[in-house]
Amino acid sequence: MKNFLFFLCWFYSVHLLASADSVSYLSFRDTISLSVENNEKIFLHKIKKGQTLFSLAKFYGMHYQELQYYNTGLGEVLALDQMVRIPIPNRAIIRYLPAGAPRWAYAPVMYAVKKGDTVFRISQYFKMPTDTVTARGKVVNNALKPGMLIPVGWLSTKGIPENYRPEPAHPLLKKNLPLRRQFEASTAKKKTLSTQGPAFWQKGAPSEGSSFYARFDGAPPRSVIEITNPMNQGKIYAEVLGPIPPTVYNRNIVVVLSSAAAKMLGARDPQFFVKIKYYK
């Protein structure tokens, strides 16, 4: 019965993701208006019909808890026309469209001038020559007014790949980054295997509750595994402490997670369905 319930959970999550893929997030008719806050480029995304916190995070190459980090009080349920702050990495901004690029594949990116800005400062923000800034913005005599929109590039309407974001801002995701890099370095040299099934976690486990650890039978101790919650596409990396004690946990459990790992995956119940990638 439990296995059947986990299958239903997995099937439902796949159906949700398939539906989300058909939802429009950006089109060439949209305009990405950026502001710069603490050296980060921020875009206000207006929620459209069918968009969710999880699908929005996936489209912009973020962990869903990263979105919550940038939007204090942001819940899992989003309202129509709600504005959500999205950080846009430099790498995602295409300064010059390649010849023959289809216009429908890109949304224009603008910078909203604020008080105290100069042409030079804007050129530094977006890594482009000052004469390009003045030409695109039709700036005369370097005179800028707050609220002016300066065209600075384009953003792909396909979204932002996760690897375009060099480092997360969320403290726990930042702490998880070395494990992610270890996993990527190891899987570049070794064959990647995968499995799926129920994960288990226990709140307040004394030796494993504050870091990203896992007990897993498929990989050697001290190796790193990738764990994904298909319900929300949350993904984290955990160090394997060793195999699952056979006399302690139910035999159908595929992985036992620390509290930090489970919480970053959005776990609410002691058991939840996960997908795992690992190497030997």
How far apart CA 102 and CA 85 sit, in angstroms, is 28
Q: Is the pLDDT of residue 210 over 70?
A: no
- Based on the fold, state whether residues 159 and 40 are members of the same structural domain: yes
Query: Among residues 116, 142, 164, which one ends one of the domains?
Result: 164
Q: Are 233 and 115 in the same domain?
A: no
CATH of the domain at 252: 2.40.40.10
Q: Is residue 120 part of a domain?
A: yes
Residues 113 and 213 in one domain: no
54 and 143 in a single domain? The answer is yes
Q: Are residues 105 and 179 in the same domain?
A: no
pLDDT at 20: 43
* Residue 226, pLDDT above cutoff 90: yes
Is 19 part of a structural domain of the chain? no
CB contact at 8 A, 136 and 152: yes
**Whether residue 93 is found in the same domain as residue 154:** yes
**Model confidence at 206: pLDDT above 60:** no
Tell me the pLDDT band of 19, cut-offs 50, 70 and 90: very low
pLDDT digits (tens, 9 = 90+) for 227-246: 999 988 889 999 999 999 98
CA–CA distance, 27 with 158 (Å, rounded to integer): 9
Q: How many CB atoms are closer than 10 A to CB 165?
A: 19
Closest alpha carbon to 200 in 248, 252, 271, 137: 271
Mark whether 155 and 192 lie in a shared domain: no
Residues 238/213, Cβ–Cβ less than 8 Å: yes
Residue 253 confidence (pLDDT) above 60: yes
* Domain end residue (candidates: 116, 143, 164): 164
pLDDT of residue 51: 93
Same domain for 156 and 259? no
Residue 250 lies in a domain: yes
pLDDT at residue number 155 = 96
Among the ranges given (18-27, 88-97, 149-158), the one the predictor scored with the smallest mean pLDDT: 18-27
Q: Is residue 94 part of a domain?
A: yes
Residues 190 and 81 in one domain: no
**Count of structural domains, the chain:** 2
Residue 250, pLDDT > 90, answer: no
pTM for this entry: 0.77
Is residue 24 included in any domain, yes or no?
no
Classify residue 128 by burial, with Cβ atoms within 10 Å: 0-12, 13-18, 19+.
middle
- Whether 238 maps to a domain, the answer reads yes
Domain that holds residue 79: 32-164
Closest to 64 (Cα-Cα) out of 52, 79, 82: 52
Q: Which whole-number Å values give the CA distances from 222 to 29, 164, 240, 241, 254, in the listed order?
A: 49, 28, 5, 6, 17
Would you say residue 5 lies in a domain? no
pLDDT recorded at residue 232? 86
The reported pLDDT for the residue numbered 204 is: 62
Give the residue-averaged pLDDT of 158-180: 91
Q: In Å, what is the CA distance from 149 to each residue of 42, 152, 169, 227, 240?
A: 14, 9, 27, 42, 50
| One domain for residues 36 and 114 | yes
Rounded to an integer, the average pLDDT of 107-114 is 95
Closest CA to 254 of 236, 238, 275, 235: 275
Residue 10 lies in a domain: no
Residues 145 and 224 in one domain: no
Q: Which of 126, 145, 164 is the last residue of a domain?
A: 164
Same domain for 159 and 176, yes or no, is no
Which 8-state DSSP code applies to residue 94? B
With tokens 């992985």, the residue in question is 255
Q: Residues in the chain, how many?
A: 280
Q: CA 79, CA 74: separation in Å to the nearest integer?
A: 10
